[in-house]
Structure 1
């Protein structure tokens, strides 16, 4: 098995080289309007710069979102019928002309996506952990001048049209093989995620770091496993340091990323091999977690009725019996800004043969290159 991963250092507003209905899943996090770290990016547009300079917050907010709307329009075009778009976005708080206000980025994006014809599926609240000693905003302990602190972001989930169809026998078999574990389904499909920490990339460049709003590898990997099948194409129109590309490679999917800032290219190159190690480690953790789940269930004298035909271990549901997880082996750049990943593929076991699963790879020692911290 081989997956392909392409990067375009270009504005995602124009995806003219991407054929219509050619992408199965979008996983992305755009620049957040009205967050100061992205002002420089948005202020390349004169009208936005003038609105901020004159302290007209809601005008600047709307103009920023009109720039993002152009990307969402393209996403609607390139997604296949039944394709899914997952957008990680946080709201913003800001004081302009001595007036403190919330700028609801998530609701503005949601409104435009609905206007395009997307269906909004249940969204996820990502409850980001924080170590801030003082969480309140405003006038401390005196009502009514204190403000609720934002400690979550949204993962908005949209579907283009009706449910995606898998018509051929090969498509149906691939879907079955792309299943996830029952216990993973119970964790992943909760509408509140409290187990993921935010991430900060060590770019070595303060200005570049201000342009990176990277989410953790696990967030992208989880969404890709939830909403796509092996061999699908995953698009990230705001690729940044490449997290979505690396997660897609780990999951046996193809990917396409757009990034306006060419300075991110060395970081993506440097992150390729560590991403393979990260993927193998995460897959090992999935197997270890499942086997521990089985042991705990058996210790509690709970029956497990089904057996996975590929690995030979017990599983809860019939939908897991063909589950298989490709193990990434190597990544190489085939042409400029295009990468190819190869995989080890498991073979079906004879009934009764003991389980053979990949083991979790130890975390790299201090001093080794690692992209995700």
Structure 2
């Protein structure tokens, strides 16, 4: 990861994306368009007509996301809304879907409880062995890398090429990395989905997701799904996400830089049995991470001896919020086994926030020191 790769999108241009298109007297801040109805005499033509189909605040947000992804984007009311759109827009009865068996558990629930019941064959493979067995016969291959919560990696370019050669399409959940940390579309992936509830919004005050693709047919299918299903975001949430994106680079850099400092220190603490973080040279995915990621991310996992010690660590640290989800300005942590993930009872997913790194380290260390 050289300095050029680390830059990612042109964030200076991003911050003035709206400003450079303003006319005299226009508001600098994005207006919030709340209307469900539009003044529409005569034939509708290409004018805005109904709030389920069009909203000016969405359009501005999608324009901003398009700059970050270097691809057209469509926004949805949650990350699972985006995942649902991508899967329902690309699959039909009789087709085959491959998903990671150790990825985000709600994606597995959606596939098992709904897609399977509608005649889609669903196959699961562990992230670390995802390419084993090849991709022949799969219509859609859904990837998540790093996996949530285990942080195993998949070689995106290799899988994208193999799936395309086999006649399938690829969808990658890039929630854990954002387009500043990893760029799946540049590596050949057909479609990206993400929960913008996490780092993209960054302030733990909204639910939102997006789909990005450079394939016009896939984009149209996603567009149709949103319009017909009604899986639309609220304009206020879209406005909040647009505002959050303006500080994304600053927040993300702080979070990733702090994680790179903290991971080796945590790995050496005597009560920590194991640490997974792609930025650690000892991590089994480190070499792959160096090749396909712009940053190593802000997520890591710690494994303590048991659930009691893990809970004590989380709940006695004043700079950790014991909460599900991740990617906010506040560092947070949780034991993922409580949601049914196949992890050790003492496994803790740790999301590094924007606190000063040395202050955060002292708080983490003090809590770990108190775990006996």
Q: Same fold (TM over 0.5)?
A: no
Q: Report the TM-score when normalising by structure 2.
A: 0.29
Q: Report the TM-score when normalising by structure 1.
A: 0.29
Please state which structure has a larger fraction of its residues in strand: 1
Specify the structure having the higher radius of gyration (Cα).
1
| RCO comparison, higher one (Cα < 8 Å, 6+) | 1
